[in-house]
Chain A
Amino acid sequence: MFKKFKPLISVVMGLLFLIVLSGCSELAVFDPKGPNAETLRDLIMYSIYFMLVIMIVVYVLFAFVIVKFRDRKNFNEKDHEPNIHGSTKLEIIWTLIPIVIIIALSIPTVKVLYELEQPPKETAHKEPIVIHATSADWKWIFSYPEEDIETINYVNVPEDHPILFKITSADSMSSFWVPQIGGQEYGMPGMVNDLYLQADEPGIYDGMNSNFTGEGMTHQKFNFVALEEDEYQNWLKDTQENAPELTEETYEKLMLPETVEELTFSNTHLDIVDHGVDSGEYAMKIREKYGIEVGVQDEEENDQEESDSTDESNSHHHH
């Protein structure tokens, strides 16, 4: 009868080995390029070791009982004891062991949680660069308030320098994630979440919005570009001197639900609106202004022509 379970066990084991083997090499989360992602990778590996031990113990016990006690021709009646009701001793043991494991997993988890609230230790002496990361359906807007520049759908940072991302959203809730650099954080209208990240190696890393925000969500990606310090300084200077100004009209267009290419500006939107406070009203107003259908419509509204889209009574529901 063990033969019956062999396919299952070998499929599971085979794929598990795949996880462990390929795991440590190329998969983004196991190929960190910054201290935060490295910390998380270590925590994940630590937990995987525990889980593998648990799985091996249970699988061995499982294989043993189903092979030994399967009903078969030469089944030894002595092996069958139908009336065992329990064993307090055993039950206490397998209550205590998981408790110990949970404690062993909780301690580093809590430690890492507190650690990630601070800039990375190795570069704690450097003043973090502040970058606002705002998602607006379906693009990422990065504002450098100190440097007074703004980029869309890509963000340039110097290597080995702590960056403080201030994450928010102009409309729906999104999630800012660059797997090789660190863990994700939600961006919500009217709120700001802090996330320290740092890149150790120059390179281009995939960043995205991993939280569902509707039709364009799949394409809401950005490049997280880590540059060498002088390259970064050159880029800053070049952008400040040569990039076009972000006008209010251009910014309004960014509020419309569409994807756009990479863009660069020599000022920020922060004078126009602060999404960390705005809680979404601004984007909704702009959409209405441009006649974009927002959410549910009354039937009368559907019937009416575009001409009365500025009508007060009509705008009541949707601002």
Chain B
Amino acid sequence: MFDFIKDNLILNDPMLIGANISILLSVIGIVFILTYFKKWKWLWTEWLTTVDHKKIGIMYIIAAIVMLFRGGVDALLMRAQLTVPNNEFLTSHHYNEIFTTHGTIMIIFMAMPFVMGLMNVVVPLQIGARDVAFPYLNALSFWSFFFGAILFNISFVFGGSPDAGWTNYAPLAIEGSTGPGINYYLLGLQISGIGTLLTGINFIVTIIKMRAPGMTLLRMPMFTWTSLVTAFIIVFAFPVLTVTLALMTFDRIFGTHFFTLADGGMPMLWANLFWIWGHPEVYIVILPAFGIFSEIISAFARKTLFGYKSMVISIVTISFLSFLVWVHHFFTMGGSAAVNSVFSITTMAIAIPTGIKIFNWLLTLYKGRIEFSVPMLWSVGFIPTFLIGGVTGVMLGMAAADFQYHNSYFLVAHFHYTLIAGTVFACFAGFVFWYPKMFGHKLNERLGKWTFWFFTIGFNVCFLPQFLLGFDGMPRRVYTYGPEDGWTGLNVISTIGGIGMGIAFMILVYNVYYSFRYSKRETTGDVWGNGRTLEWATTTAVAPHYNFAVVPEVKGYDAFWLMKQEKQKEKIEYKPIHMPSNAGTPIVMSAFFFVAGFGLVFKLWWIAILGGIGVLACLAVRSLRSHKEDEGYYVSVDEILKTEEKKEA
């Protein structure tokens, strides 16, 4: 056992030793603080076993921001390496590990959990529900994501990271990669994928079944709509991932030959299965972003969303199309002109509904009275920036032209323009917008504006030059280049932009601290004064754990805005509210998933079996106790009265 740890702990690299030490110190620090302030019990009852969708959402968001930091450090290391030709800062081996973990973490462990966190916080509130349909399952979703992420992340300091790209193409990922890295990838994604699939199911049922009276489908807020469509995409796409990962896990661990070179495996099958999941995955992170922008633009333009119905039609269309375009990842695989033509056209067709949305946003601004607070800056900044991602997407969709763009920096620039200007801008926008709902105070506006400008300008400076690098024939995923290639100047500019984004992130973190100390505490539910949807209708800035003392009645689109117009003030009769109890099994069970996963990564069968038994035991405990746990408890009228009176007069 000791040998096993000694062999796998990476101690030959100063950077990684530093990482090891800082991880160890942080863990000791956290344990110390929790013990010193006697916070263990609080942590356990208030957070680790919570089934409150808002707290789960907050935990998702915190984890996502930590992962944004990790992925961002990876990004800056890569940019550092690429700044000058023939740089020896990173070896090829390290660079490969870093771009692989960067891509995987950013998409699977940052973007997706961030939007899921926002969905968790906001969607039940927006539809006037007390909770999600399956609160217990929701906790399980979060914890399996969390432990999947941890498993993936420890590869960095224990055993070595995956190095076959976030697409993990076979046969490279099987026969071309030694060590446990790829196993970490397979099991980390598998475990967190369980959580994602459960979330998909949970939100479909929540949104379909738990809307407040009067909230017809066509009165649902845009963010709820995009979350619903996203949940459907998850339910159709994620089982593909589950099976695909499982097959490669068999190849790597049990010696089967699904995707191997040897023994008649089919490496290309991996690529196809991967993108059948992978392309819809991109829309899983972009559609909720569109929803967030819609809410914010309409709130701060003080106007109802323009073309609501065509917005709904276009997101549904996009979700269908997202399953019909995966072959665009293989335009250069020697498919016939006919096949390439068909997929070229379906791919470009996605631009039509996307274009509709852009014009609807512009028309929502038209005749508005626009207030440029920080969430609005992100949302308005999104339009011109994302447009660049959109038009270059159409260019990539032209199959013949893609022969020149594929695998080049043109592609790298394009997908960062869509993922960052789309998803990351939306995450920041939604984070700032709903921050008071989660924490009871706003983030500082001035610091927020600094973050926005540093990030947006840094972002464009970083990625616009990469289109040119692509035109100049610089392939992606290369760890270095020569001075004779002529790519130095543009790479230097690009790195400068990357640093700008890093500074923006630090200002954001400082802002969280600063606002916690100095921001005015908000007491009204409608903190921006512009709220149009029901999440702003709860009594206090932080919604009480039962959300609504009385289930609101919805009279039209923009439900809360309509209520404000009417301003009726009747005497309200409170009744006791039924809420679900906390549960410890989700976190324990996910921890056992982690143990099982870890065992499989190193083929330490006894650990794997131990983890498996633990999971089964948790399932058994839950089945035996479920009638008790699901009984829940009642919030008394007294308590409701007390909470509701906290609202300012």
Binding site for B on A (CB under 8 A): 1, 4-5, 7-9, 11-12, 15-16, 18-19, 22-23, 26-30, 37, 39-40, 43-44, 47-48, 51, 54-55, 58-59, 61-62, 65-66, 69-71, 75, 79-87, 90-91, 94-95, 97-99, 102, 105-106, 109-110, 112-114, 116-117, 137, 167, 171-173, 175, 177, 179-180, 182-186, 188-189, 191, 193-194, 206, 208-218, 257, 279-281, 283-284, 293-299, 316-319
Contacts and interface: CB of A to CB of B under 8 A. Distances in A.
User: Which of under 10, 10 to 19, 20 to 34, or 35 or more describes the interface residues of B?
Assistant: 35 or more
Contacts of A66: 365, 370, 380
B267 A94 contact: no
A82 B337 contact: no
Contacts of B465: 15
A112 B331 CA distance: 13
Given A8-B456, A15-B465, A214-B177, A69 B370 contact: yes
B217 interface: no
A113 B344 CA distance: 10
Given A84-B306, A86-B307, A284-B262, 8 more contacts: A23-B471, A26-B486, A70-B370, A97-B355, A102-B345, A177-B407, A213-B176, A294-B178
A47 B457 contact: no
B398 interface: yes
Contact of A210 (B171, B333, B408, B485): B408
13 contacts: A27-B472, A30-B471, A44-B395, A47-B395, A58-B362, A65-B365, A69-B365, A98-B351, A98-B355, A173-B172, A188-B267, A210-B408, A218-B480
Given A27-B468, A54-B391, A172-B171, A105 B348 contact: yes
A47 B171 contact: no
Given A62-B384, A214-B177, A91 B307 contact: yes
B403 A184 contact: yes
B14 interface: no
B177 A317 contact: no
B237 to A, nearest CB: 23
A59 B384 contact: yes
A80 B477 CA distance: 50
B333 A188 contact: yes
Given A109-B341, A216-B92, A294 B175 contact: yes
Interface stretch (B28-36, B296-304, B586-594): B296-304
A64 B356 CA distance: 18
Given A82-B304, A279-B264, A40 B404 contact: yes
B301 A184 contact: no
B366 A69 contact: yes
Interface string B398-418: 111111101110000000000
User: Which of B165, B261, B309, B468 counts the most A-chain CB atoms under 10 A from its CB?
Assistant: B261
Nearest to B485: A206
A211 B310 CA distance: 40
Given A86-B308, A106-B344, A191-B334, A81 B367 contact: yes
A84 B367 contact: yes
A23 to B, nearest CB: 7
Contacts of B92: 215-216, 218
B344 A109 contact: yes
A188 B552 CA distance: 60
B322 interface: no
A86 B310 contact: yes
B174 interface: yes
B367 A80 contact: yes
A40 B403 contact: yes
The 7 tightest CB contacts between A and B, nearest first, are: A183-B403, A280-B261, A193-B334, A179-B473, A210-B475, A112-B400, A319-B262
A69 B603 CA distance: 63
Nearest to A106: B345
Nearest to B267: A173
Given A94-B356, A295-B177, A43 B401 contact: yes
Contact of A212 (B388, B468, B477): B477
A31 to B, nearest CB: 9
Interface in B173-199: 174-178, 182-183
Given A91-B307, A188-B333, A194-B334, A44 B264 contact: no
Interface in B340-396: 340-341, 344-345, 348-349, 351-352, 355-356, 358-360, 362-363, 365-372, 377, 380-381, 383-385, 387-388, 391-392, 394-395
B488 interface: no
A184 B475 CA distance: 11
Contacts of A15: 460-461, 464-465
Contacts of B406: 175, 184, 210
A297 B344 contact: no
Contact of A296 (B178, B365, B388, B476): B178
A91 B310 contact: yes
A12 B460 contact: yes
B478 interface: yes
A284 B348 contact: no
A16 B476 CA distance: 21
Contact of B355 (A94, A106, A113, A212): A94
B471 A43 contact: no
B470 to A, nearest CB: 8
Interface in B297-330: 301-304, 306-310, 330
Contacts of A279: 261, 264
Contacts of A105: 348, 394, 398
B467 interface: yes
Interface in B468-517: 468, 470-473, 475-481, 485-486
A152 B358 CA distance: 51
A12 B391 CA distance: 14
Contacts of B255: 316-317
Contact of B473 (A44, A172, A206): A206
A186 B384 contact: no
Contacts of A172: 169, 171-172, 175-176, 267
Contact of B381 (A8, A19, A71): A8
Contact of A12 (B175, B394, B464): B464
Contacts of A209: 475
Nearest to B460: A11
A51 B332 contact: no
A119 to B, nearest CB: 15
Nearest to B484: A206
Contacts of B404: 29, 37, 40, 44, 179, 183-184
A194 B333 CA distance: 10
A184 to B, nearest CB: 5
Contacts of A8: 381, 384-385, 453, 456-457, 460
User: Which of A48, A51, A91, A194 counts the most B-chain CB atoms under 10 A from its CB?
Assistant: A91
Contacts of A82: 302-304, 368
A48 B402 CA distance: 13
Contacts of A167: 334
A18 B478 contact: no
B252 interface: yes
B363 A90 contact: yes
B253 interface: yes
Contacts of A316: 255
A72 B395 CA distance: 39
Contacts of B351: 98, 102
Given A69-B370, A102-B349, A296 B174 contact: yes
Given A65-B362, A69-B369, A208-B475, A171 B384 contact: no
A184 B407 contact: yes
B294 to A, nearest CB: 13
B394 A28 contact: no
A209 B183 CA distance: 26
B551 interface: no
User: Which of A79, A117, A186 counts the most B-chain CB atoms under 10 A from its CB?
Assistant: A186
Nearest to A54: B391
A71 B401 contact: no
Contacts of B178: 293-297
